[in-house]
């Protein structure tokens, strides 16, 4: 296989069962469907952790949680273990990041030549409340996420729009500068991570649909 440019799209808390191209009759995902139709879909791929931060560290390093030791959402990846971006850089490839990373620090040695809108964790720490086990803390805001779901723009939907626009702009304006050797572009989106809101034009498409609960695997 000839070396080629690589674009990695990451959506947060997005189940494969909620993609139209993988059989869900209620999910209008035409752009992702077109990408899947032109590539390869992995039906037996799994996250190594149910938590966001450890899973992101595994994606970066290719290691299990017990190996990279980012155990929970208060232990983010910090660049100390080589990531795939470091390997790309070592081979002379441009490694560009646009969008959500949730790593420990902004512009640390995370394996990217440049990070745009990386959304680092607050104070480089993350979810300290999640470390408490006895007694488990109540997170009342999560009920509000469900009850308050509806057709509206939020700071997160607006963030995702900025990320998408920046990625398109980079592909058109910056990528040609690195044409001498294949590059890799990572694009990270916040949604559909809670809160569960969607821009009105998308929400209205499914408002009147009879959505079964739970949604079956493509059924």
Residue 109: C-alpha distances to residues 9, 20, 63, 101, 104 (Å): 21, 37, 18, 13, 10
Provide the 10 A C-beta neighbour count for residue 1. 3
- Per-residue pLDDT tens over the stretch 2-59: 889 999 999 998 888 888 888 888 888 899 899 888 888 887 888 889 899 999 999 9
pLDDT confidence bin for 69, thresholds 50/70/90: very high
> In angstroms, rounded to a whole number, what is the distance separating the alpha carbons of residues 113 and 91?
13
Backbone angles phi, psi at 184, to 5 degrees: -125, 130
pTM of the predicted structure, to 2 decimals: 0.89
Sheet holding 6-10, edge to edge: 6-10, 184-188, 95-99, 114-116
The model's pLDDT over 147-158, given as tens digits with 9 standing for 90+, comes to: 888 899 999 999
Question: What's the DSSP call for residue 73?
Answer: T
């Amino acid at each position: 296989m000839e070396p080629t440019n690589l674009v990695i799209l990451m959506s947060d808390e997005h189940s494969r069962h909620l993609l139209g191209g993988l059989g869900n009759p209620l999910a209008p995902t035409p752009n992702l469907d077109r990408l899947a139709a032109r590539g390869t879909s992995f039906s037996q791929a799994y996250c190594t952790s149910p938590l966001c931060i450890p899973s992101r560290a595994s994606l970066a390093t290719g290691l299990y949680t017990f190996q990279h030791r980012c155990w929970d959402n208060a232990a983010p990846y910090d660049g100390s273990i080589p990531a795939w971006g470091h390997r790309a850089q070592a081979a002379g490839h441009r490694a560009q990041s646009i969008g959500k990373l949730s790593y420990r620090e902004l512009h640390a040695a995370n394996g990217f030549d440049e990070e745009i809108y990386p959304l680092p964790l607050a104070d480089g720490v993350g979810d300290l409340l999640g470390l408490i086990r006895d007694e488990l803390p109540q997170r009342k805001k999560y009920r509000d996420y469900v009850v308050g779901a509806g057709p509206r723009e939020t700071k997160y939907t607006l963030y995702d729009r900025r990320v998408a626009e920046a990625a398109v702009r980079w592909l058109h304006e910056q990528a040609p500068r690195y044409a001498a050797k294949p590059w890799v572009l990572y694009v990270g989106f916040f949604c559909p991570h809670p809160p569960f809101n969607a821009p009105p034009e998308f929400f209205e498409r499914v408002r009147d649909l009879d959505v079964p609960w739970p949604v079956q695997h493509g059924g």
